[in-house]
Structure 1
Amino acid sequence: MLEEIYTVSDNTMAFLPDFDGVGGFKTTILEVDDLKECHLNPIELLDQNLRFFGSSLRGASEGTRYILGEVNMYPVIMNLKHQLVWFPTRSPKKNDCVWLALNHIKSYKRNKNQSTKIIFTNGSSLNIEVSFSSFEMRMNRAYALKFRLEYRSSFMLIPPSVQRNFLKYDIIKEANDINYQIHSKDEDSLDN
C-alpha cells in the first residue's frame, strides 16, 4: 500500500528510489521494523519531511553549508530536536540516489566490485554502487554536521556571562622543544 504522507521518525533508516518500469518513480522506506512505500520520490519525500519540521530541502542545504562550508552532496538535518542527520549516497540530482539516516548505520565495508555494503542497526544490509572512500567521506561529513550541532546546542546552554569568564590560552609547541608553551590570551587578542 502506498503512503500518501510519511513522517520520518527515529525508526526510519533509508529512502530508496523505486521505479515501476512505466515511468513511475516512488520511494521505498526502510524502517527498523517495517518496509513502506510512498508515492513521492526520495527528494520530494525528503523535502516534505523537512517542511513538516519547519524547513525545506533548500533551507536545510543552506544551513549545512553555513555550518560545514561549501560541500557537495551535503547532509541535512532532518529533525533538529532529535538531531536526525540524513545524507545522500550520491548526487541528490541522480534518480538512483539513496538517502540514509546516520543514526542507523551500524557498519559498512568495501565490496570487491568497488561498491559498499551498509549494515543497519536492525541487521538489514544494503549494497550501493558507491566506492568505499566516497561513502566514508559522505558519512564523515554527516558526523561533522551532527557533532557541530551537538556542540552548538550544549554551548548555547552556557550563559554569556559565564562564557565571558572562560580562561583562554594559546598553546604552542615549537619544533625543537619537548614541552608546550602556554600563554594566557588577553581580550584584545581573541579575534586572532
Structure 2
Amino acid sequence: MLEMTDYQISRSTMALVPIAHERLCTKIIDRNGIYYSTQTAKELLELACYDDGCTMDGKRKAVTYTLRINQKIPLPINPRKNIYAFPTTSPDKFDCIWIFVTHIQGIISIDKHKTLIRFKNNEKLIVHVSKYIIEEQQKRTTLCMLRFGDIDQLA
C-alpha cells in the first residue's frame, strides 16, 4: 500500500474512492498506480480547484447556474488541463466515488445497481450505481466540458 499524504489531482487521476480506515480516507486510482491519502476526496478536489483559482463550491455553483444541473453536479476541476470529474452519488454521502471522465473506456452493467467502469489503461472499478446513472453523469460532464473547456483540448 503506497500512502501519499500530499497527492495532487492531475490529468492522470482516474478515480477517487472513499475508504474506511483508521488513518487513510481515499484510495486514488491513477494511471501511474494506486495511492492512498489521509485527505478526503473533497479535500483533494478542493485543493485541485484552488489550483485553477476557484473553490469547489464556486465551480459547482457555476455549473448549476450555466447548465441547470442541481444534483450530482459534475466538476470542472481544471478546464485548462482538461480535468473534469463526476460524483456517482451525492458528494455528501460517504460512498461517493469521483470518476474522471476522460479516462473512461467502457461502462458495463453487472446488475440493476452495480456497474463496472473500464478505464483506458484497462483498470476496472465496480461502482454501486446503475449503468444508466453512470451514463447520465458522463453526458452531464461532457456538457460541462463543452461549456467550460477549451474546444481544442476536447479532441
- Tell me the TM-score normalized by structure 2: 0.89
Structure 1 residue 25: Cα displacement: 5.3
What secondary structure is seen at the aligned counterpart in 2 of 1:111?
Answer: strand
Contact 2:27 2:34 in 1 (8 A): yes
Percent identity between the two aligned chains: 25
What secondary structure is seen at the aligned counterpart in 2 of 1:13?
Answer: strand
Residues 48-67 of structure 1 aligned to structure 2 (within 5 Å): 48-67=47-66
Match of 1:126 in 2: 125
What secondary structure is seen at the aligned counterpart in 1 of 2:19?
Answer: strand
Structure possessing the higher radius of gyration over alpha carbons: 1
Residues 1-192 of structure 1 aligned to structure 2 (within 5 Å): 1-20=2-21, 22=22, 24=23, 26-150=25-149, 153=150
Count of residue correspondences? 150
Paired residue type of 2:100: A
Aligned mates of 1:60, 1:149 — CA distance in 2: 10
Unaligned regions of 5+ residues in structure 1, if any?
A: 155-192
Structure 1 residue 45: Cα displacement: 1.3
- Structure with the bigger RCO (C-alpha within 8 Å, sep 6+) is 2
Structure 1 residue 113: Cα displacement: 4.7
Contact 2:104 2:118 in 1 (8 A): yes
Match of 1:175 in 2: none
Unaligned regions of 5+ residues in structure 2, if any?
A: none
The RMSD of aligned alpha carbons is 1.6
